[in-house]
DNA sequence: ATGACCTGTCCTACAGGA
């Protein structure tokens, strides 16, 4: 069972890249972020043709999340509780293959400090609350997506460049650590505790060519899934494809 | 310190991204 996450940075503008990667990587489940399309423009038919059912929560121009699956998936939730004024499409959750899959796109938060950073932290708090609730389920649960958090120095090519950045601010990293302490495991770090692993490369300054990346896309697993974890990998070469997203597809493999 | 680059959008210039 291969479960992936991919911040596509515009699903229609990059549909060819997504379809090519799906064909080559053959994941069973995929969490997508930054669809940047309204619900009615989600490419459901093209994905079905490629062998994937979808649930999606789009938005015009910005944000947007979806879960693709080879088996039909049942949507269990969209959005987090706690702020009825928040209109960003950043969370969708589904049930498939006996697992609960939460797909999220956490706010970037720059410039920090400021209102955007406040929004990031308040969104984090709402996620924290929901993550706690998910841990009460007697089911395999995964919280997957673009967390927009560089958890430690090891997750950036040059941490001093990110001191004033919302992705690396102490509050952001602390919120992430607090989430883990609830009872979640960062799957990539669990399997590769000391390795530099990046999932994002800026379009600027030839970041990909210089291997100047960040690890922003994370898989959080509850204790019921964790014993099934076999491997984790970044499909780094996809970042080098024509018209690629600035994020790489990332995946984990589970037993069964 | 700045800008280099991408997306989508009813003002080919902007906002937002990380």
Any idea which nucleotide's C1' is nearest the CA of A161?
A: B18
A110, closest nucleotide (Cα–C1'): B18
Query: What is the domain range of residue A91?
Result: 2-254
The number of distinct structural domains making up chain A is 1
User: Using CA atoms, how far apart are residues A172 and A150, in angstroms rounded to an integer?
Assistant: 8
Looking at residue A37, what is its pLDDT?
96
User: Which positions in strand B are less than 7 Å from the protein's CB atoms?
Assistant: 3-9, 16-18
| Mean pLDDT in residue range A161-169 | 95
Mean pLDDT of A164-179: 97
In whole angstroms, give the CA distance from residue A242 to residue A158: 26
pLDDT in tens, A116-128: 999 999 999 999 9
Q: Give the CATH number, domain containing residue A199.
A: 3.60.10.10
Helix and strand totals (H; E) in chain A: 5, 14
Give residue A256's pLDDT.
86
Give me A92's structure tokens.
């969708």
Strand A91-96, strand A185-186: pairing: unpaired
Summarised one tens digit per residue, pLDDT across range A41-85 is 999 999 999 999 999 999 999 999 999 999 999 999 999 999 999
Q: Which residues touch strand B (CB under 7 A)?
A: A 7, 9-10, 12-14, 34, 36-38, 60-62, 107-108, 110-111, 116, 146, 148, 165, 167, 200, 202-205, 214, 216, 243, 246-247
**Per-residue pLDDT at A36:** 96
A61 CA from B14 C1′ (Å): 13
């Amino acid at each position: 069972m291969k479960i992936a996450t991919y911040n596509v940075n515009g699903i229609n503008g990059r549909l060819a890249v997504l379809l090519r990667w799906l064909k080559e990587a053959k994941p069973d489940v995929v969490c997508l972020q930054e669809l940047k399309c309204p619900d009615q423009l989600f490419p459901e038919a093209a994905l079905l043709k490629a062998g994937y059912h979808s649930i999606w929560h789009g938005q015009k121009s910005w944000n947007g999340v979806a879960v693709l699956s080879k088996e039909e998936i049942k949507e269990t939730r969209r959005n987090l509780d706690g702020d009825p004024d928040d209109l960003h499409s950043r969370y969708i959750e589904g049930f498939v293959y006996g697992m609960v899959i939460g797909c999220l796109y956490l706010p970037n938060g720059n410039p920090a400090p400021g209102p955007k950073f406040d929004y990031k932290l308040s969104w984090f708090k709402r996620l924290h609350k929901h993550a706690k609730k998910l841990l009460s389920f007697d089911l395999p649960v995964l919280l997957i997506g673009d967390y927009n958090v560089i958890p430690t120095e090891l997750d950036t090519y040059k941490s001093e460049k990110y001191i004033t950045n919302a992705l690396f601010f102490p509050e952001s990293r602390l919120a992430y650590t607090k989430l883990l302490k609830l009872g979640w495991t960062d799957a990539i770090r669990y399997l590769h505790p000391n390795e530099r692993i990046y999932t994002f490369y800026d379009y600027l300054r030839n970041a990909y060519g210089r291997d100047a990346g960040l690890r922003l896309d994370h898989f959080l697993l509850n204790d019921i899934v964790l014993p099934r974890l076999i491997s984790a990998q970044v499909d780094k070469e996809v970042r080098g494809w024509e018209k690629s997203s600035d994020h790489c597809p990332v995946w984990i493999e589970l037993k069964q």
